[in-house]
């Protein structure tokens, strides 16, 4: 690993991950983004649509990263919390397209958990992230 790049850790003997990395090694300034839901800067949900909420939550992460001078390519870990596994599975292509629109083709280490509910009424997804700006 060089000081200016992230090192994606995917053992060569494993099946290639789809849409994430198994691990990331990084050195630099760390940014921790609190869980973001699909609401606007006015704290109003973008609507009831699952994919729209995901895209907005990802956009919110990018906005927080920008406050630290970071970009989506600095993400090293993303944790997703969703309330509807069936919606996630059935709409994966749309979710992938939304992810690429906001984050691009950068795939950090990721975890996705199905939860019983989220604090904000009507929220279907919450996404938290960690980024590292290289030294």
Q: Over the stretch 103-121, which tens digit does the pLDDT of each residue have?
A: 999 999 999 999 999 999 9
12 domain-assigned: no
Query: pLDDT-based confidence at 135, cuts 50/70/90?
Result: confident
pLDDT tens-digit series, residues 29-60 = 999 999 999 999 999 999 999 999 999 999 99
pLDDT of residue 5: 84
Q: pTM here?
A: 0.93
19 domain-assigned: no
Residue 129's domain is classified under what CATH number? 3.30.1330.40
8 Å CB contact between 133 and 29: yes
Q: Provide the domain count of the chain.
A: 1
44 domain-assigned: yes
Tokens 């970071």, residue? 70
8 domain-assigned: no
9 domain-assigned: no
> By residue range, what is the domain housing residue 80?
27-134
8 Å CB contact between 21 and 65: no
At 71, list the tokens.
């970009």
33 domain-assigned: yes
107 domain-assigned: yes
14 domain-assigned: no
The phi and psi torsions of 33 (rounded to 5 degrees) equal -100, 120
Burial readout 89-103 (b: 16 or more C-beta within 10 A, e: otherwise)? eebeeebeebbeebb
How many C-beta atoms surround the C-beta of residue 72 within 10 A?
20
């Amino acid at each position: 690993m060089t000081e200016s790049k992230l090192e994606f850790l995917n053992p060569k003997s494993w099946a290639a991950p789809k849409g994430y990395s198994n691990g990331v090694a990084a050195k630099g300034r760390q940014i921790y983004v609190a869980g973001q839901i699909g609401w606007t800067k006015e704290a109003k949900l973008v609507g009831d649509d699952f994919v729209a909420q995901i895209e907005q939550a990802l956009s919110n992460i990018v906005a927080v990263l920008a406050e630290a001078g970071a970009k989506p390519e600095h993400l090293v870990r993303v944790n997703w919390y969703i309330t509807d596994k069936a919606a996630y599975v059935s709409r994966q292509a749309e979710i992938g397209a939304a992810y690429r629109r906001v984050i691009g083709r950068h795939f950090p280490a990721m975890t996705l958990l199905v939860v019983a509910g989220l604090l904000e009424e009507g929220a279907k997804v919450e996404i938290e992230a960690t980024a590292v700006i290289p030294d």
